[in-house]
Amino acid sequence: MVKKFMVLPMVLMLSFGAVLTGCTEETASKPSVETKVSPSADATSAAGAAGEYTIGISLPSADHGWMGAMVANAKAEAEKHKNVKYILYTAKDPAKQTSDIEDLITKKVDAVVMLPMESAALTPAAEKISKAGIPLVVIDRAVNTESYRTYVGGDNYGIGYGDAKYLVEALKKKKGKPAGKVIEISGVPSTVTDLRSKGFRDYIKDYPEIEIVATQPGDFTREKALKATENILQANKQIDAVYSQDDDMTIGIVQAVRDAKRDKEMFIVSSGGMKEIYQMMKEKQLPEVIVSLTYAPTMGGTAVNMATKILEKKGLEGFWESSIPHHIVLEATPVTPENIDQFIKKDSNY
């Protein structure tokens, strides 16, 4: 993983040349309990008033810890800006999210911050935002188009590559050589999942005695990861290691392994930076999680902040350029039992 720049208080990697704020929330007029709107952002853009903006935020439903923290961080950043009102929609499926985006376009918001539920499914929505002349900041999962202003996400390829590196080294210690049977629990159909799988496979391809015996989707939720792992454990008598693409899924994987009474048989490499996983590491619980590469939900707040800077035509502090970069990629830092105390935060919302 190549470190390129330090931006704001976060380590960033840049490729090309991406915030919200609000008021008290109440349920919107749209027929969905997942829809939330600032009370003064009910119609057209507020940009007519000097320096005032309305930002639309479209996120998946907060059905697990990481996404819950993402929503909370986006709202917290939005509410810091007195000149910004926000409309926040959350959706449980791509069709609902597409409808939410169309509603934001109709409301003539000044910018949109979107975390696509699925990359391909939300690409047309991104195109519609662009055609409406609205700057779009995409978080986490990319879309299959360049029709957005800025992308803010984690180093997903680096996560897969880094997890594979730790897995190989652990197998060497366990078996005396880099060999063993490995399973993968993956995420939802998205660039995040694809890149994490690719990074992992690109690293282990040089170790032919490491075999990926099964791959099943856990959709970034502990419940589906639990069921997927149960299925794989029933079909495989020996597993040496698990590659989990997400810490929330790792919670479900751990439960499945313990229920099967196979917790001493395998170890897990993961990602996300979840405090429950950190605590497991610190207490040396089994099955052992040997590494979790950071993928902080703080990027939700960063994306909202980038949106406000775009609207206000501001660049990043320390940059000579006056515009926000096209891509902002956050470093995937390995967190292990050896450095865990540097990362545990009791007040963390994830």
Domain assignment of residue 125, given as a range: 5-154+296-331
Entry pTM: 0.78
Is 338 part of a structural domain of the chain? no
Average pLDDT, integer, range 130-154: 95
Residues 6+ apart with CB under 8 A from 314: 322, 324
- Measured CA distances, 265 to 49, 137, 184, 245, 270 (Å): 63, 43, 16, 20, 17
| Nearest CA-CA partner of 59 in 90, 14, 13, 98 | 90
Question: φ and ψ at 292, to 5 degrees?
Answer: -135, 115
pLDDT at 103: 97
pLDDT at 1: 36
State whether 300 and 276 are in the same domain: no
State whether 236 and 263 are in the same domain: yes
The share of the chain scoring above pLDDT 90, in percent, equals: 77
State whether 163 and 273 are in the same domain: yes
In this predicted model, what pLDDT tens digit does every residue of 37-78 receive, in sequence order? Answer: 443 344 334 444 448 999 999 999 975 688 889 999 999 999
Q: How many domains does the chain have?
A: 2
State whether 228 and 91 are in the same domain: no
State whether 143 and 12 are in the same domain: yes
In this predicted model, what pLDDT tens digit does every residue of 4-39 receive, in sequence order? Answer: 333 333 333 333 333 333 333 333 334 343 444 443
Structure token digits, residue 18: 């991406």
291, pLDDT greater than 50: yes
Is 350 part of a structural domain of the chain? no
State whether 150 and 15 are in the same domain: yes
Enumerate the β-bridge partners of residue 36.
27, 88
Is 348 part of a structural domain of the chain? no
State whether 232 and 114 are in the same domain: no
State whether 65 and 91 are in the same domain: yes
Taking the C-alpha atoms of residue 326 and residue 89, their distance in angstroms, rounded to an integer, is 24
Residue 16 near residue 324 (C-beta atoms within 8 A): no
| DSSP state for residue 224 in the 8-state scheme | H
State whether 174 and 97 are in the same domain: no
Domain CATH number, residue 165: 3.40.50.2300
pLDDT at 63: 59
In this predicted model, what pLDDT tens digit does every residue of 185-234 receive, in sequence order? Answer: 999 888 899 999 999 999 999 999 999 999 999 999 999 999 999 999 99
State whether 271 and 223 are in the same domain: yes
State whether 45 and 137 are in the same domain: yes
**How many CB atoms neighbour CB 238 within 10 A?**
10
State whether 303 and 241 are in the same domain: no
Average confidence score pLDDT of the chain:
86
